[in-house]
Amino acid sequence: MAASSSFMKLLLLLPNILLLCSLVSFVSFAHSHPLKICNFDQIYQLGDSISDTGNLIREFPIGSSTSFARLPYGETFFKNATGRCSNGLLMIDYIALDAGLPFLPAYKDRDADFKHGVNFAVAGSTALPSHVLAAKHILSPVTTSSLTIQLGWMSTHFNSICLHHRECAEKLQTALFMVGEIGGNDYNYAIFQGKTMDELQSMVPEVVHAIINAVRRVISFGATRVVVPGNFPIGCLPIYKTAFHTNKSAAYDENRCLKQLNDFAMYHNEQLQQAIEKLQQEHPNAIIVYADYYNAYQYLLHFAKSHGFDTERACCGSGGKYSFNMTRMCGAPGVGVCADPGRFLSWDGVHLTQEGYKIMAGWLVHDIFTNLHCHF
């Protein structure tokens, strides 16, 4: 009778035991490196300052004179400036680590080893060519190395490592391609050069078209797994919150982000996702995955608030409510750096801290992993 009673108690406890096992399994997965399961042996990155690991600072004549070429940029991880627009690692660095690969070298670093991939991203770059933007009376003040130029570099690189297309296609079957984030600067330059929201919205189809054409191009090289990130909720960034500060409470959402700018970012992302769905139908043999930078950042905000991060101010900056001044940005003489960048989301008012990128990258990896169709 006692044995029977013990068995009944065990049966009653079984659902809780199974739940505990499931939770342990989930936590184990969450702290593992799921991209290793994909067996990627190379990563190729196109994009802008969100992912540049050293191309802009090697461009003549502006690159080496930018703040990204000197401390305090890079101070936390590298103890030196590498051209990354942060105090340390970027999302692409964490993605590479998660895949079990080395950090991606910049294409313009001629001493680099490109065995495991290449980073073609350039800080300040745009989705649309600079001459197309110029026709809209929008200047590209930092670089002319737009998405088209980066694709040209990619083509040159593949021509140097493959004898013919078939060989490249075979080599790239186990590569991950990141097309973006790109397009954010097209809008940034337009906004800060006086374009209206209506003019901005009119640019979206053209910007999205440029991104989708880039995805087509990398598939033509032999890419089989392509990740296409969307835009950030730009209304949450100190640069925009400073420029468009208002006393109207209705202009802000529950996270104190500017609604109109976030609505615009969502509009771009919706158009991009629709275009990706159509492109996927055109190329059923390729896997094209949308990376939700918008909701990854929203998760980051939620995480940061519950863990005591400063979600408002830039760590490296000066002046005003958000420690940001367009005329005295991070790296300028006399501009200070916070004592603990690990407790801040924003590094310089435009880009995130290493800690911010780490949290976002963790969310993104687990979000895109299933859609990449990697198998245990």
Positions annotated as catalytic residues are 49, 348, 351
Q: Which of these, 265, 202, 198, 264, lies nearest to 230 by C-alpha position? A: 265
The structure tokens listed for 94 are 């964490």
In this structure, the strands spanning 42-46 and 287-291 are: unpaired
Quickly tell me which residue has 């995955």 as its tokens.
289
> What's the rounded Cα separation, in Å, for the pair 346 and 236?
10
**DSSP assignment, residue 258?**
B
> What's the rounded Cα separation, in Å, for the pair 203 and 183?
10
**Helix (H), strand (E) at residue 272:** helix 259-282
Taking a C-beta distance cutoff of 8 angstroms, is the pair 299, 305 a contact? no
Report the 10 Å Cβ neighbour count for 314.
Answer: 31
Q: Backbone phi, then psi, for 290, in 5-degree steps?
A: -80, 130
> What's the rounded Cα separation, in Å, for the pair 219 and 16?
47
The structure tokens listed for 78 are 């590298």
Output the 3-class SS for 293-359. Answer: HHHHHHHHHHHHHHCCCEEEEECECCCCCCCCCCCCCCCCCCCCECCCHHHEEECCCCCECHHHHHH
Phi/psi region, residue 349 (left: phi>0; alpha: psi -120 to 50; beta: rest), is left
> What's the rounded Cα separation, in Å, for the pair 365 and 351?
20
The structure tokens listed for 268 are 């771009």
Q: Point out which residues pair with 337 in neighbouring strands.
A: 316
Quickly tell me which residue has 């979206």 as its tokens.
204
- Tally of CA atoms within 13 A in the half-sphere of 262 that contains its CB: 19
The structure tokens listed for 253 are 């959402």
Taking a C-beta distance cutoff of 8 angstroms, is the pair 352, 344 a contact? no
